[in-house]
A and B are shown apart, each in its own frame.
Chain A
């Protein structure tokens, strides 16, 4: 069965420090991969996506992610975190189901930023 694992429930980093959020997926073929961000009390916004081609993808707000097929991973990175990045981050996979494409989300990683 398809699944998405985000091993870290929460992470705390200092402002200006680098960030890496981990995501591992289980799927038989190459899925569509996404990272979404949810600020407190808000809906979800797409940060970036991968479906083919260059395995390093750039997103909004200075985020990037790297697809590693051998590790079934799609980790999110940012070189220098800003206080406004404090939010919850979700990794997601779109995988083929019986009637089309199902979407599976990880449980999320909450990012805290220290001043």
Chain B
């Protein structure tokens, strides 16, 4: 089954304790992305990656790191979490126009990770 998986689904942590949220996709997609969703703000892009070792900042990258060492995985790292990073996080993937017969950035989303930083 084609899917994007995220772990953990729920996480409560304390300020300053480093954490990693994993994301994996099994669709051989080039494009992967992380978003945070906050009430009234919709989804805001944190980082995205066009392919292995190619990443770029989205609209809200401060306080986050990512890496793309393998095509299927795109972990989100919070080196020193703070309460303002309490949010619902989504990972997504898509093919890139012109590859594998794809025509657009239709994204497939993971189930979400609810993070609380106290």
Residues on A lying within 8 angstroms of B by beta carbon are 6, 9, 32, 34, 36, 42-46, 49, 51, 90, 92, 94, 97-108
Chain B residues with Cβ below 8 Å from A101 are 31, 48, 50, 96, 105
Do the beta carbons of B44 and A99 come within 8 Å of each other?
no
Contacts of B96 in A (CB 8 A): 101
* A107 B42 Cβ-Cβ under 8 A: yes
- Give B4's nearest chain A residue, CB to CB: A43
Contact partners of B104 in chain A: CB under 8 A: 32, 49, 51, 94
Mostly, the A contact residues are strand
Question: Which size bracket describes the interface of B in this complex?
Answer: 20 to 34
Are the C-beta atoms of A46 and B54 separated by less than 8 Å? no
Interface of B, secondary structure class, is strand
Q: How far is the CB of A33 from chain B (nearest CB, A)?
A: 9
CB atoms of A43 and B48 under 8 A apart: no
Q: Is the CB of B106 within 8 A of A108?
A: no
- Contacts A43-B111, A46-B107, A94-B105: A102 and B90 contacting too (C-beta < 8 A)? no
Q: How many A-B residue pairs have CB under 8 A?
A: 75
Contact A105 B44 (CB under 8 A): yes
- Of residues 12 through 39 on chain B, the ones whose CB sits less than 8 Å from some CB of chain A are 31, 33, 35
Contact partners of B44 in chain A: CB under 8 A: 105
Contact (Cβ within 8 A) B42 A106? yes
Contact B31–A51 (Cβ < 8 Å): no
Asked whether any CB of chain A lies closer than 8 Å to the CB of B116, the reply is no
B: residues with CB less than 8 A from A are 31, 33, 35, 40-45, 48, 50, 54-59, 90, 92, 96-97, 103-112
A99–B90 CA distance with the chains assembled, in angstroms: 20
Q: Contacts of A106 on B, CB cut-off 8 Å?
A: 42
Asked if residues B56 and A43 are in contact (CB atoms below 8 Å), the reply is no
Residue picked from A90, A99, A103, most chain B C-beta under 10 Å: A103
Roughly how many angstroms separate A46 CA and B104 CA in the complex, as a whole number? Answer: 12
Q: Select the residue from B57, B108, B109 with max chain A CB neighbours within 10 A.
A: B109
Contact A104 B106 (CB under 8 A): no
Beyond A99-B56, A104-B59, whether A34 also contacts B106 by CB under 8 A is yes
A107, closest chain B residue (CB): B42
- Is there contact, CB below 8 Å, between A102 and B45? yes
